Every structure is written in C-alpha cells, then in structure tokens.
C-alpha cells in the first residue's frame, strides 16, 4: 500500500512539473504585436561604429530617394533610429523594422532575414561581418535588397491594417468594375460608367484613388510610354483642377517615371511611379499606378492615385506606401 501511495505521489509530481514546463514554454513562445513609428528603421549597432565609415554608409543607404519621389522633397526610404545591442531587449525588441549589425570574430559574413522573430508582423535582418570593412562590402552589395525587404514590410503593414474594411467606395467599385479594394475614409468625388475617383482629404493633404479600365489587346499596352499616354488621356477628361482649364497630367520632363513589372495577388502587370503636375496651375506631388492584366475579363484594370502634401512635415513616402497597401488588398471577380 505504501509503495502504491509513493508511486501515486511521484506520478502527480511529474505531472505538475510537466505542466509547469509547458506553461513556461508557452510563455516564452508568446509574442506581442510589433510596434514603432511608420517609416522608421531601427538599426542595432555598437555606438563606436555610428561615427565611422559604417555609420555613414547606413545613413546614405536610408537616404536613397524613394522610387517616384523626386529628390527635391528630401525623403529617403526610412528615418534612422539606432540602439546599442545592450539596450536591444524587452519592449525595444518589438520594433516593426529592425536591422541588427554585428561585427564578430566569425568564419564567414552573413546577411539573413527573419519574419516575426520577436513580435508579430515584424521585419528583421541580421548582418554579421568579420570586421568593419567586410560589413561595408555587404551593405554596398545588398543595400537595395535590404531597403526592398523593409519597404515591403511597411506596405504590408498598411495592407493588413485596412484589409477587410468596407466602405461606400469599395462597394461602388465592386458594382462598377467587379473589383474590390479596402479604402476606408475615402469619399466619392466622381463616378462615371468607366471611371471612379475617390479621395481622403484634410485641410493640408489629399490622397486620391482613381480606377478605370480598357480592353486588353496586347502586351505593348503595358509599355511605359503607352500607359502614360492613356493615363493622361483619362485624367485630362475627368480630374480637373480648381482653376478653369487646369487638369492633372504626368510630369515626364522634370521627373523620372519608374516602370516595373509586378504581380498582385496572381495578376500580372506593371507599376508606374512618378510625379504628377496640374496643367495650367501650380500643384503637384507623387503618384502610383498599377496596370493589371485581367485575362478572364479581357481587360487591363488600372488602379491609379496621386498625393498632394506640399508641406515638408508630411511624408509623401508614407502616403504612397499607404495607397500601395490599399491597392494590394485587391480582389477581382469575373464579370457575368
């Protein structure tokens, strides 16, 4: 009987220890949502490297002009925040965008990316190099890969933030074009049979989205020059300025238009990024356009936009990323 009692007690103790261990494991695996200001990159690095060539290279990388944003605005990809490794713990480890740079006695140099290592919806990259010179080489070779990774994370942040949110604009877009995007707080400015224009406005800023389509006949329609010509034709007709005779057009002489192949939720297409201006008036700002081939509906669907935020305190990069995040919530259904 005593042996049986000892066995029962021993079994219960094991069960308690096992349960406690599981709770500890679950607690250690628990992750909170990432945090941090939009457009900020946290660089974890020893202080002595910040005032060296390595620190200068990091700052130069983040100051590279954002695609489609003219250099005159002075906006790079990210605002820089730094922290020494000794402080990178607790709340700080939950920052949404983290680039950790370690100079260590290692056998090889590495650059790896990890999604959600310390928090949900977190973008993290680790650069390890044998010395400062090797770290400089890694940054020089992979700077656009680094910027694109964190830029995509910022865009995805907005796509997740707005995804699933319904609005009057989304409903009318679905009725007119059999397409849906999450565009909260956007008000309809114009709704024609072949064109919808909506905007979100404050006293000092405007974010506008325009959606239109045209029949798909050939790949050449996606050439940069052809898309710009089509865009200007549509916007001249529908998007007028406050002054009589003024209208929105694409600026091609004073600013570069960036043309790039994209895939949005399985739909092949191209994007245009550049600067718009108001013909016969004095307004302008960045724009983003997606031209997507919708083969089931034999059309090219255009998601177009523009941003007006003339004051330097407003980030044009943030507004464009926000619009891209909205565009990436796109869903298309076949027309009946």
Read off the pLDDT of residues 140-155 as tens digits, 9 standing for 90 and up: 999 999 999 999 999 9
pLDDT tens track for 162-209: 987 888 899 999 999 999 999 888 999 999 989 999 999 999 999 999
What's residue 35's pLDDT? 94
| pLDDT value of residue 14 | 46
pLDDT over threshold 50, residue 22: no
* Model confidence pLDDT, tens digit, residues 94-122: 999 999 999 998 788 999 999 999 999 99
**Confidence bin at 285 (pLDDT 50/70/90):** very high
Q: What is the rounded average pLDDT for all residues in the chain?
A: 90
Q: What pLDDT digit, counting tens, does each position of 299-330 carry?
A: 999 999 999 998 888 999 999 999 999 999 99
CATH number of the 166-332 domain: 3.40.1000.10
* Per-residue pLDDT at 19: 46
Amino acid 280: pLDDT: 84
- Residue 12's pLDDT is what? 47
Residue 76 pLDDT > 90: yes
Return the CATH number of 40-161, one of 2.60.40, 1.10.1200, 3.30.70, 3.30.379: 3.30.379
Q: Which residues of 236-273 are buried (b: 16+ CB within 10 A; e: fewer)?
A: eebbebeeeebbbbbbeeebebebeeeebeeeebbbbb
If pLDDT is split at 50, 70 and 90, which confidence band does 334 have? confident
The pTM for the full model equals: 0.88
Residue 336: what pLDDT? 67
Residue-level pLDDT at 163: 87
CA distance 55 to 330: 39
Q: What is the pLDDT averaged over residues 222-243?
A: 96
At residue 29, the pLDDT reads 58
Q: How confident is the model at residue 13 (pLDDT cuts 50, 70, 90)?
A: very low
Provide, rounded to the nearest whole percent, the portion of the chain with pLDDT above 70: 91
Contacts of residue 141, Cβ cutoff 8 Å, sequence gap at least 6: none
Listed as own residue / partner, the contacts of 222-229 with beta carbons closer than 8 Å and 24 or more positions apart are 222/269, 222/270, 222/291, 222/293, 222/300, 224/257, 224/259, 224/270, 224/272, 227/259, 227/270, 227/272, 227/289, 227/291, 228/252, 228/257, 228/272
Across the range 81-105, mean pLDDT stands at 95
Whole-angstrom Cα distance, residue 75 to residue 314? 10
Annotated domain spans of the chain: 1-29, 40-161, 166-332
Query: What is the reported pLDDT for 299?
Result: 97
Average pLDDT over residues 246-270: 95
The secondary element (H helix, E strand) that includes residue 333 is none
């Amino acid at each position: 009987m005593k042996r049986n009692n000892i066995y029962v007690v021993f079994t219960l103790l094991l069960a308690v220890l096992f349960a406690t261990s599981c709770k500890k494991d679950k607690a250690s695996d628990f992750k909170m949502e990432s945090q941090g200001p939009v457009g900020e990159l946290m660089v974890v690095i020893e202080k002595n490297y910040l005032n060296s060539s390595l620190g200068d290279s990091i700052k130069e990388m983040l100051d590279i002009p954002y695609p489609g944003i003219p250099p005159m605005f002075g906006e790079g990809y990210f605002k820089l925040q730094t922290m020494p490794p000794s402080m990178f713990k607790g709340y700080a480890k939950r920052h949404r965008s983290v680039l950790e740079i370690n100079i260590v006695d290692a056998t090889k140099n590495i650059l790896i990316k990890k999604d959600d290592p310390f928090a949900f919806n977190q973008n993290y990259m680790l650069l390890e190099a044998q010395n400062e010179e090797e770290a400089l080489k890694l940054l020089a070779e992979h700077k656009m890969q680094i910027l694109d990774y964190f830029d995509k994370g910022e865009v995805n942040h907005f796509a997740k933030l707005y995804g699933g949110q319904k609005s009057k604009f989304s409903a009318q877009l679905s009725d007119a074009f059999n397409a849906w995007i999450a565009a909260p707080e956007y008000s309809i400015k114009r709704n024609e049979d072949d064109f919808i224009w909506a905007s979100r406005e404050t006293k000092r800023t405007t974010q506008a989205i325009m959606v239109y389509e045209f029949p798909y006949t050939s790949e050449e329609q996606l050439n940069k020059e052809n898309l710009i010509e089509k865009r200007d034709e549509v916007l001249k007709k529908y998007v007028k300025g406050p002054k009589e005779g003024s209208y929105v057009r694409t600026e091609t002489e004073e600013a570069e238009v960036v043309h790039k192949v994209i895939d949005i939720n399985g739909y092949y297409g191209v994007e245009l990024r550049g600067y718009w201006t108001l013909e016969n008036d004095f307004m302008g700002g960045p724009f983003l356009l997606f031209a997507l081939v919708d083969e089931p509906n034999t059309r090219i669907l255009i998601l177009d936009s523009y941003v007006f935020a003339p004051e330097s305190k407003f980030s044009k990069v943030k507004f464009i990323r926000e619009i891209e995040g909205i565009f990436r919530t796109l869903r298309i259904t076949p027309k009946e």
